[in-house]
Amino acid sequence: MVIEWLKFKVPPEKWEQFILRDEEVWTTGLRSFPGFLGKEVWVDSVENEVVMFIRWETRELWKSVPQNIIDELDAKMGDLQMPMTESREYQVGKFLH
């Protein structure tokens, strides 16, 4: 499994709207792609950040989502597009011996 970890700077008054729109747009959109396993959303009320923790079966399946779909989903966020401040990738449960 691979984790896609994204951090967004979101003003507190927009947390709920941002999270609901993300669920409606991104989570729904990604569900149609093979390898998408699910997503968690975490809110840091001290730093005013929203973190997305997205689980993928493999890196190859994650990276197979076409760029035009990513652009389309991003555009659907409309006025709730927020600046991504950090992104990371983690490999889970597969270690070299």
Kindly list the domain boundaries of the chain, sorted by start residue.
2-91
| Residue 93 vs residue 30, higher pLDDT | 30
In CATH, the number for domain 2-91 is 3.30.70.100
3-state DSSP helix/strand/coil % of the chain, to nearest 5: 40, 35, 25
- Residue-wise pLDDT for 20-78, tens only, equals 999 999 999 999 999 999 999 999 999 999 999 999 999 999 999 999 999 999 999 99
